[in-house]
Amino acid sequence: MATHGVFGKGKTQTTDRLCQLAGTEVRLPDSTLRKLYANKEDYVARANGRLAELIAQGWFLPEYTESIRKDIQATDIPQR
């Protein structure tokens, strides 16, 4: 689990475009993860449930589901 963002705005139009190609990822603190999820099983169930909702609503392509489910399963959620 992490927050995601983009690097700062470039000084020229060309570097502005480059800013859109790269991003940042900052892991959420363990204390935040413990507040959000009771345990890993809770996280996996909720993440898979939300993924199913997004697919059903047409916001996520089904062909990428397996890859995302692997990421969900690999996510480390600290114990409370």
pLDDT per residue as tens digits for the range 24-38: 678 899 999 999 999
Residue 36: predicted pLDDT = 95
The DSSP result for 20-55, as a single string, is TT-EEEEEPPHHHHHHH-SSHHHHHHHHHHHHHHHH
Residue 26: predicted pLDDT = 82
Residue 35: predicted pLDDT = 95
pLDDT < 50: residue spans in the chain: none
Are 44 and 70 in contact, with CB atoms under 8 Å apart?
Answer: no
